Structure 1
Amino acid sequence: MRTLLLATILLVSTPFFSQSDDEKQIRAIYDLSLTNGKAYDWLNHLSNQIGGRLSGSVQAQQAVDYTKGQLDSLGLDRVWLQPVMVPKWVRGTPEFAYIETKPGLTTNVPICALGGSVATPEGGLKANIIEVQGIEDLEKLGKEKIAGKIVFYNRPMDPTQISTFSAYSGCVDQRYSGAAEAGKYGASGVIVRSMNLRLDNYPHTGSMSYGDTPVSSRIPAAAISTKGAELLSTTLTLNPEIKFYFKQNCKQFNDVQSYNVIGEIKGSTYPNEIMLVGGHLDSWDLGDGSHDDGAGVVQSMDVLRLIKANGYKPKRTLRVVLFMNEENGLRGGNKYAEVAKSKNENHVFALESDAGGFTPRGFSFDCTDENFNQVLGWKKLFEPYLIHMFIKGGSGADIGPLKTDELVLAGLRPDSQRYFDHHHAENDTFEHVNKRELELGAATMASLVYLMDKYGTIQSKKIKG
């Protein structure tokens, strides 16, 4: 009797808590990533043994060879290279620039050529400078005030935007289209304030386009550091007659062949339903591309390893794609989508990591309301890992060409506050990536892939009846 009473007391006093299979599986994924992750070691090699991986470069090919070798070593069902033609733009010798307040009195400022820009004349370019806050100012000024001058785009990123990607979107048009638009008014060159929220001496490169401007009419374009931009603006206010000099030696070559790197685990139940996770293998050449997008590459590779190492057998085919040429052409993403369409492949889910290796905060989804509501039902599974942000929005540039009404596209969303301190700049280097943050991101991605595979998308459920 006493034994029965004691058992009853223990039963009443013990809380009823049964950990679900999903909670256990996700916990196991995080534990493995944080104790035996491979992403950081892979990133160390990409960053420190290979370095910046601009499309068409020797380093880009080395990265292709290295990542394929690592995927081969994971025992995946298939690993292959997908050929893609990519642009080859070379920066050349380091750029040089100064502000000349009067003949012989100069102050050097840090600049870098924008990706795709033409070179200056061999002896450099010196001209008066005119400051604008954006492309819309050009029409107000007119050709009379612009012709022969260097246009200085100085609209900063908006610091009131909590999402720094929104701040970036608000001013990146002056970098991308600034030279093409200024050239229409007879400008001799373009200098653009770096896309960066802090004041420093690192100029940030990035892609730009001349549109349909004839090659003979293209003008050189460079980014200036935020400190340099502040100095130039202040000096120009004090003396509108100052001159600006810059010299750059960049050159565009013919397209060359490169590759997307692809590996997959074949699905056990629905092998024709493909779930993709990826990042872009190329980077700019100033730093070593650790955050943009070495982090996304190694996290995506580790997603398949984590799922395989945990003993989970996916129902659907899981595919990792390391895209080439996101930075200055999106050729890899377009080629992958083209081949997938030609083969009538059925992609049901795609996740990209291309926002840096910082602490993960959640995901953005480009999908139907039905699919988004399903995802919201999983949110509590991520809250113990401080993953709270599940929003509808963009996904990733490389997976965008796959978009259909049925496909669920997603993007990993790390904390963005420090991202643009490094984006496309010389300080996008390995030491600025935190090992634990990187591994948390890989585990977060693997957990979402696991849930998507286990439960399927709304559309795939409807097809199966």
Structure 2
Amino acid sequence: MKKLFTALLSLSVACVHAQNADSVTIRKIYNEALANGKSYEWLRYLTKQVGPRLSGSEGAQKAVDWTKQVMEQQGFDRVFLQDVMVPHWVRGAKEEAFIHNGNQKVTVPIAALGGSVATAPKGVEAGVIEVKSFPELRAMSPEKVKGKIVFFNRPMDPTKINTFEAYGGAVEQRANGATEAAKLGAVGAIVRSMTNGHDDYPHVGGMRYATGVPLIPTAAISTNGADLLSKSLAENPNLTFYFKQNCESLPDAKSYNVVGEIKGSEKPDEIIVVGGHLDSWDLAEGAHDDGAGCVQSIEVLRILKTLGIKPKRTIRAVMFMNEENGLRGGVQYADLAKKNNEKHIAAVESDNGGFTPRGFGIVGTPAQREKVMPWKPLLAPYGLTDIGAGSGGADIGPLAQLGTVLFGFKPDSQRYFDYHHTMVDRFETVSQRELELGAASMASLIYLLDQYGL
């Protein structure tokens, strides 16, 4: 019994000592990020000098070249590119739209959804059918919808505390609205912007067409514009709506994932990924979505290297290409990992904006999630209290098939959809301190994952 007591006491002392050492290291990580962080200035360059970077565009290639150069300048052990063919959709000339109500023509802000076809050169004008859901639309006769423009006007649920839940409850209108409308003979689809805010900025995003269904043009309308159209329809159901857009899908283009790594000292064949997506929508600088996640990921490796922390496992920062309108970068990364027999034990993605850190969502088995729980006291002093089952990230999602445990960085979600997919997603909307806190949070998790594995 005495020997057992002595062994348990020794184990307890060792655990306390390890936690104290980890606490000191995490404090150093935060000190480095907050006192000497590089992420904010990197984000300034990415947004102001490179700018919008939709897949296949000149801006996307500039972003690839620049992030590769940044990681090389940091002296990471290896920096390389992964080829990936991506969609190349272009918006063309600015869209036009107005509500034609009797003798009045009222202009409203719209923007073509990514992947949409153009209207005819003269545009399209037709009566409007307003719906809040797909079941409501499907219940209508084709005769009622044929030749009309379907207006999807279901708002994000304002009662959801987590705004990503509200987004998930409304975004199918954007993704599949044109297909559902076309099945009943509609000539166009207009979709309320995905935001709880009331503004004059169309919130764009990707859409898709189903096979065997006519391709009709579709666009996002600002929330203020949507409210005006709905009010006008209530007063005059016979009004018409006009819109013109000039978008086009070009042949797929060659692009790249950009990867930088620090080689593991003890288990180099075990890989931990931290990343974000390099592409952004064409109307915006893509500061929160997802320039923030990219520069934070590079900063994670810089912090480890600067502090002289030699990871046991290989740590990779990955700038994924084509999350916004295809996810081909994430799929290609996972396919290459499988082909090369790489063992990815964990992946962390930042794609929820550069706001105040709150925690991490985990996609893994209950046993794997339980392995993380003892780390909560180390992370709680830094505001990271929301740690548990959740989502990972779109780009790292394909790694799940390889048994990789996924972690989604969770900043405060309240402001994200004020900027998401709009022209106001600019550098000026990002707080330097919040961005640097996020980078330190991710670096701390990466440090613990490397030290203890899963």
| TM bracket (short chain) | over 0.9
Gapped runs of 5+ residues in structure 1?
A: 1-15, 458-465
Deviation at 1:361, TM superposition (A): 0.3
Q: Distance in 2 between matches of 1:17 and 1:364?
A: 28
Q: Distance in 1 between matches of 2:64 and 2:343?
A: 26
Q: In the alignment, what sits opposite 2:452?
A: 455
Q: In the alignment, what sits opposite 2:375?
A: 378
Q: Distance in 2 between matches of 1:96 and 1:284?
A: 19
Residues 344 and 402 in structure 2, CA contact (< 8 A), matched pair in contact too: no
Amino acid at match of 1:174: Q
Residue pairs, 1:7-406, within 5 angstroms: 20-103=20-103, 105-213=104-212, 217-404=214-401, 406=403
Q: Distance in 2 between matches of 1:160 and 1:21?
A: 42
> 1:442 aligned to 400, 418, 439, which one?
439
Pair 1:18–1:190, CA change in 2 (3 A): closer
Amino acid at match of 2:425: D
Q: In the alignment, what sits opposite 1:463?
A: none
Instruction: Tell me the SS of whatever aligns to 1:82.
Output: strand
Q: Distance in 2 between matches of 1:404 and 1:113?
A: 34
Q: In the alignment, what sits opposite 2:8?
A: none
Q: Percent identity?
A: 57
Q: Distance in 2 between matches of 1:82 and 1:19?
A: 38
Instruction: Tell me the SS of whatever aligns to 1:100.
Output: strand
Instruction: Tell me the SS of whatever aligns to 2:354.
Output: coil
Q: Distance in 2 between matches of 1:41 and 1:310?
A: 20
Deviation at 1:404, TM superposition (A): 3.7
Residues 195 and 418 in structure 2, CA contact (< 8 A), matched pair in contact too: yes
User: Could you list the per-position Cα deviations for residues 22-56 of structure 1 after superposition, in whole angstroms to 9, with x for gaps in the alignment?
Assistant: 01000000000001101101100110011111000
Residues 33 and 303 in structure 2, CA contact (< 8 A), matched pair in contact too: yes
Instruction: Tell me the SS of whatever aligns to 2:395.
Output: coil
Amino acid at match of 1:318: I
Deviation at 1:102, TM superposition (A): 1.3
Residues 145 and 186 in structure 2, CA contact (< 8 A), matched pair in contact too: yes
Q: In the alignment, what sits opposite 1:5?
A: none
Q: Distance in 1 between matches of 2:246 and 2:30?
A: 47
Q: Distance in 1 between matches of 2:28 and 2:150?
A: 55
Instruction: Tell me the SS of whatever aligns to 1:141.
Output: coil
User: Could you list the per-position Cα deviations for residues 86-133 of structure 1 after superposition, in whole angstroms to 9, with x for gaps in the alignment?
Assistant: 000000111110001014x20000000000000011001100001000
Instruction: Tell me the SS of whatever aligns to 1:20.
Output: helix
Q: Distance in 2 between matches of 1:266 and 1:335?
A: 22
Residues 118 and 246 in structure 2, CA contact (< 8 A), matched pair in contact too: yes
User: Could you list the per-position Cα deviations for residues 38-78 of structure 1 after superposition, in whole angstroms to 9, with x for gaps in the alignment?
Assistant: 11011001100111110000000000000000000111110
Which has the larger displacement, 205-214 or 144-153?
205-214
Instruction: Tell me the SS of whatever aligns to 1:131.
Output: strand
Deviation at 1:405, TM superposition (A): 7.1
| Bigger Rg over Cα | 1
Residues 368 and 405 in structure 1, CA contact (< 8 A), matched pair in contact too: no
Q: Distance in 1 between matches of 2:151 and 2:21?
A: 58
Instruction: Tell me the SS of whatever aligns to 1:198.
Output: coil
Q: Distance in 2 between matches of 1:108 and 1:258?
A: 38
Count of aligned pairs between the two proteins? 439
Residues 179 and 190 in structure 1, CA contact (< 8 A), matched pair in contact too: yes
Q: In the alignment, what sits opposite 1:462?
A: none
Amino acid at match of 1:370: A
Q: In the alignment, what sits opposite 1:418?
A: 415
4+ aligned runs moved over 4 Å, structure 1: 16-19
Amino acid at match of 1:203: P
Instruction: Tell me the SS of whatever aligns to 1:416.
Output: coil
Residues 367 and 405 in structure 1, CA contact (< 8 A), matched pair in contact too: no
User: What's the TM-score, normalizing by structure 1?
Assistant: 0.93
Pair 1:117–1:18, CA change in 2 (3 A): closer
Which has the larger displacement, 135-144 or 274-283?
135-144
Instruction: Tell me the SS of whatever aligns to 2:122.
Output: coil
Residues 368 and 406 in structure 1, CA contact (< 8 A), matched pair in contact too: no
Residues 345 and 404 in structure 2, CA contact (< 8 A), matched pair in contact too: yes
Residues 393 and 407 in structure 2, CA contact (< 8 A), matched pair in contact too: yes
Residues 150 and 190 in structure 2, CA contact (< 8 A), matched pair in contact too: yes
Q: Distance in 2 between matches of 1:337 and 1:17?
A: 38
Deviation at 1:134, TM superposition (A): 1.5
Q: Distance in 2 between matches of 1:51 and 1:391?
A: 35
Q: Distance in 2 between matches of 1:322 and 1:225?
A: 30
User: What's the TM-score, normalizing by structure 2?
Assistant: 0.95
Q: Distance in 2 between matches of 1:268 and 1:18?
A: 19
Amino acid at match of 1:278: G
- Over aligned residues, Cα RMSD in angstroms? 1.3
Q: Distance in 2 between matches of 1:350 and 1:125?
A: 46
User: Could you list the per-position Cα deviations for residues 372-421 of structure 1 after superposition, in whole angstroms to 9, with x for gaps in the alignment?
Assistant: 11211100111111111002011000000010474211010000000000
Gapped runs of 5+ residues in structure 2?
A: 1-15
Amino acid at match of 1:400: G
Q: Distance in 1 between matches of 2:305 and 2:96?
A: 50
Q: Distance in 2 between matches of 1:154 and 1:56?
A: 31
Residues 180 and 213 in structure 1, CA contact (< 8 A), matched pair in contact too: no
